[in-house]
A and B are shown apart, each in its own frame.
Chain A
Amino acid sequence: MSTDLVQLDRADKLFHTRHFFSVDPKTGKRHFYQKRPIHAVREMEFGVRAGEIFGLLGPNGAGKTTTVKMICGLVRPSGGHVYVDGLHVEKKRLQVLRRVGVVLEGTRTCIWPLTPRENLAYFGNLKDVRGKVLRQRTDYLLDFIGLSEKRDVQVRQLSQGQKQKLAICIALIADPPVIVLDEPTTGLDVQSSRAIKDKVVEMTREQGKCAVVTTHDMNVAQELCDRIGIVKDGELITCEPTEKLLDIFSEQVYELRLDRHPDTRLLEAVPGVVSTELEDADDGPTCLVKLDPDPELRSQAIYGTVQTLQQQQLLLRSIQQRQQNLESVFLQLTNGHSRPGATE
């Protein structure tokens, strides 16, 4: 049995849309009634361990929300299995719901006419937490997230960031081992966003929970997530630790600062060099050399490039790897430029 708190085992979701009096986009034929399949999630496989923050990134309509909803039991997979804390989500759904806390996009979780304390009491009862435990948990969570002073203020009077903090408290009221955060920092200012990120890190690291985060904000993913899965057209195209994902791509591009323009045809002839590009600056030209991702070929390519520059009697002022950020990695992957070989 896997030790992962969340595990997707070839989870698949096929939806059907129904159309009346429509034109088939593929054949151009007119139909009175047509049922079209949409493969929202294709054989998704990943696991999330305790203490880990897993980020799910992808363009709109990639299948992130469907994946998250399969973990929460809101969507039934068409194929494969989803496990939470070792329990099959379909077979033990009600037990699974006790183990998952969900923060949905925006601030839709809270009941606005109630105060944070009343909201926590209400959702605590819905999640089977009651009596002294509920009171202690309410006090602890409001203190943990920094809402103690606002405990008796109606939610409608709270700021966006405070509402989002309350939504996190609601998700945590039953002390679930798994927390799912759908766009947790959307619409928040820098301070609120930072506070929420810090609290998510704190609760996963110190309390041994695991978090599954979907976000469009690459900075959030880069700062927050230990591991990132990138989804495109319902398929998990990569699933790697954040640092490794950045490394894979950053290692490919080198910046060579030279005293004059090199002959790029000679450089491109070096085995392992994929492409070159010249950029002019005030202090001389910079040659961007993109190398093959294979480590062995890459070292040969670096050696060959330096040799070729020497043969052209060029002065190599400096050489450095180009730093990648998650946004450029994401764009390269989702635009289909290249893929890291292994997916988990």
Chain B
Amino acid sequence: MGFFLVLKAEIVRGLIIMRRYWFASLTGIFIGYGMLLMLIQALVYGSGQIEDMAEQAVDGGLGFIIGIFAFGIVGLFTQGLQGMARTGELEQVCMSPHGLVTNFMARSLVAAVSSIFSLSIIIALIAWSVEGTLYFAPLPTIVLLALTYLNLIGFGFMVGGLVLIFKQTGQIAMIIRLAMIGLAFPAQESLEGWPISLRVIVHALPVTNASICLKKVLIDGAGWAVLENYAFYFLILSCLVWTTLGIACFRYMENWSRDKGTLGAY
């Protein structure tokens, strides 16, 4: 019940801010589109290959968008948390009777939905611009996005918990977030050719499996056939592991932070 109350508060706040700053939101989408288009031009069209250019462009674009999504959601728990601590908002949230975990879950869900909305527009524009194809299978996409979100908030909770105690881990988190963009961009089944140790690390990161599965559905048009892919089961497994580990770590760090007297402070 508490979750839904906080969710409602966050949705209302998000809508008000979006309505009040609609121009900034709109220009943000177009700036994102323009920059991604330039990146694709440089990395895909600039490579000199001729075969499957459009397909590669959409693949790269989608990978980058998933990476940006991961970057944003995990950032909510790191830089976002630090920003809230600086403005004092975190102290108020810490004193909400629903608890910090519930608050952050609701907050991140609203941020995720809003990001998905704007990032979908960008990727659709990219596909249209390069004359590529995107397959839209609503249900498998929603399931995969939900799993991706859970995966990311699990990871975010773990990093956020660390940030509550060790303030300087925010910088390390930034490197991890950038690494997730780097991984999501080229992520596909070709990872199978990588050395086993590297594959384990890459698959353990929350965005790799999600990226592979989403590309299968949206670019290859696999639909529910994504269930036949090993990455889907890795995604569920990492989802369970990250969420359990992340929330447990966050709760532990929250209590430790109260012990140290640094909860809500930066």
- Interface residues, chain A, CB within 8 Å of chain B? 13, 15, 40, 66, 69, 72-76, 94-95, 97-98, 100, 102, 104, 106, 108-109, 111, 113-114, 118, 121-123, 125-128, 130, 154, 170
Contact = CB atoms under 8 A, between A and B. Distances in A.
Interface in B14-45: 16-17, 20-21
Interface of B: 2, 5-6, 8-9, 12-13, 16-17, 20-21, 87-89, 91-99, 103, 255, 258-261, 263-264
A140 B39 CA distance: 55
A163 B99 CA distance: 26
Contacts of B20: 113, 154
A98 B2 CA distance: 13
B88 A104 contact: yes
B13 A122 contact: yes
A10 B260 CA distance: 19
Nearest to A17: B260
A8 B91 CA distance: 21
A106 B92 CA distance: 13
Given A118-B13, A126-B9, A100 B95 contact: yes
Contacts of A111: 13, 89
B16 A74 contact: no
Contact of A108 (B6, B12, B87, B258): B87
A122 B95 contact: no
Contacts of B97: 94-95, 97-98, 127-128
Instruction: Choose among A15, A108, A123 the residue with the greatest number of B CB atoms under 10 Å from its CB.
Output: A108
B95 A73 contact: yes
Contact of B13 (A13, A114, A128): A114
A130 B264 contact: no
A122 B106 CA distance: 13
Instruction: Choose among B5, B97, B99 the residue with the greatest number of A CB atoms under 10 Å from its CB.
Output: B97
Given A66-B261, A74-B264, A122-B12, A128 B5 contact: yes
Contacts of B258: 73-76
Contacts of B89: 108, 111
A79 B147 CA distance: 43
A215 to B, nearest CB: 18
Contacts of B255: 76
Nearest to A98: B97
B88 A122 contact: no
13 contacts: A72-B95, A74-B95, A74-B264, A75-B261, A76-B258, A108-B87, A109-B92, A113-B21, A114-B16, A123-B92, A125-B6, A126-B5, A126-B92
